[in-house]
Amino acid sequence: MRTRFRWSAPLALLACGSLVLSGCARFDDTAAGQTFTPAPVPSPESPPQVQENGDDSGSGPRSGPAQPQPSQVPPPQGCKDFDKAVIATCLDTVSAVAGLPGEGAAPAALAGERKTGRVLLASSGHDAAPFAQLDVQADGDGGLTSLALSPTYVEDQLVFAYVTTPTDNRVVRFAKGQPPKPVLTGIPKGPTGNRGALASDGSGALLVATGDAGNPAAAADPNSLAGKVLRIDTSGKPAPGNPSAGSAVYTKGLHSPGGLCGSPDGKRMWVTDHPADGPDAVYRLQAGQSLTTPAWTWPDRPALGGCVDFVDANGILGIASSTGLQNVPVNRDGAVTGKPSVSLDGKGKPPTTYGRLSAMSMVNPQLAVAGTVNKDGGKPVSSDDRVVLIVVTDTGGGPGKD
């Protein structure tokens, strides 16, 4: 299969949801003067020859690291990683990432550590820099489990986070140099099922996926905030246009969400789930419909995490997992068209792997950022945990082998 490349100008693709909602807060929505200056990168005139990775038995395009991989990349030396797709090293369980907008500069992202609550700025060519500190309690699978930029981030510089506290799970928002403020509180907390996920729905509202707090029955209970996808405005109130006026519930039936993602216009929205019993699954969100029919399931339960919708550009829904990057072929109508393949699992040529992938976020229509969680049940190398840039390498959309 011939691999082709598409470049966005001027930025190169890296060369190197009836509920009572409590705790809505009002505060300054702006963070004037907050800027970042990532490092420059080479121009699109010299694109890298990114190699294909993964299981050749799959069909459709696959994803690979943003940097060309030679046959042998030297192993990390302490916190120094010689893989140019790695933009941050020696972090702790990177369970949340959010790609940052920017043109003509190196791709950058915010990275959140589940256990510590630290948020750092990761940018190619720079050491990870402190951005914010959130108070979290990381019992079970809780802590800091998702980050999402404000729908109007360029103007207000606000970031949303899903966090676990000693009393609940909640959504907070913050900006660099400002303390976090509660947006939505009182989401049930339990011994497990505390993971949550956040994403913009493409229309200015925020989607919030909540776990079942260790009680699977809560996912179907309309009076519980647990096990739902909620749709709220940026102040935490139910967003206009929800299935039931005055209710934040968009859909129900979740157990342990790993990620939310969708097309930029919100016409396709997805959520991944890693329930305590049963296969992992990805669902396409439909307003008012319970999550009963998955788009695809994984009986081997590879701990699905975040996702990115590359469908418009490449026909792929990419999903992070403990076994690499799951590449699900999807058409623009949101239908799965074939069996997923796996890349970044160490079985490709060259054998590239980053271990356990968790969080994912779009940077631009073809570039994504992912976080690793090898310090949380994996086999960490000296530079773990890491933030990695990933690009879909085939824009031809045709199946086949190399």
Segment 144-164 shows an average pLDDT of 97
Q: Is residue 164 part of a domain?
A: yes
156-180 confidence digits (pLDDT tens):
999 999 999 999 999 999 999 899 9
pLDDT at 62: 56
pLDDT tens for 132-142 read: 999 999 988 99
pLDDT score for 65: 67
Distance CA 181, CA 34 (A): 17
Q: What's the whole-number mean pLDDT along residues 194-221?
A: 96
Is 365 within the bounds of a domain? yes
Quote the number of domains for the chain. 1
Across-strand partners of 209? 197, 229
Give CA separation, 238 vs 71, 226, 247, in Å.
52, 16, 6
**What local confidence, expressed as pLDDT, does residue 102 receive?**
77
Q: What is residue 120's predicted lDDT score, i.e. its pLDDT?
A: 98
Considering only residues 383 and 56, tell me which one the structure prediction assigns the higher pLDDT: 383
For residue 248, is it within any domain?
yes
Q: Rounded to whole angstroms, how far apart are CA atoms 115 and 101?
A: 26
Question: Could you tell me the pLDDT band of residue 260, with boundaries at 50, 70 and 90?
Answer: very high
User: Cα separation of 99 and 97, whole Å?
Assistant: 7
Q: What is the pLDDT of residue 13?
A: 32
Domain presence at residue 26: no
Pick the more confident residue, 20 or 286: 286
Percent of the chain with pLDDT over 90: 73
Residue of 255 and 101 predicted with greater confidence: 255
CB atoms within 10 A of CB 30: 13
Q: Is residue 128 part of a domain?
A: yes
Q: Give residue 358's domain range.
A: 63-392
Structure tokens at 90: 């020696």
Q: Is the pLDDT of residue 300 over 80?
A: yes
Q: How many whole angstroms separate alpha carbon 65 and alpha carbon 51?
A: 8
pLDDT at 28 over 50: no
Supply the pLDDT for residue 67: 53
**pLDDT given for residue 47 in this prediction:** 27
Q: For residue 224, is pLDDT > 80?
A: yes
**Tens digits of per-residue pLDDT, 341-354?**
999 999 988 889 99
Residue 380 resides in a domain:
yes
Q: What is the CATH number of the domain that holds 271?
A: 2.120.10.30
Average pLDDT over every residue of 354-363: 96
**Is 30's pLDDT higher than 60?**
no
Rounded-to-integer distance, Cα 246 and Cα 238, Å: 6
Residue 221 lies in a domain: yes
The confidence band for 63, taking pLDDT boundaries of 50, 70 and 90, is low
186 with 224: CB under 8 angstroms? no
Determine, yes or no, domain membership for 14.
no
Q: Strands 367-372, 387-392: parallel, antiparallel or unpaired by DSSP?
A: antiparallel
pLDDT tens figures, 76-132: 999 999 999 999 999 999 999 999 987 556 899 999 999 999 999 999 889 999 999
- The predicted model scores a pTM of 0.84
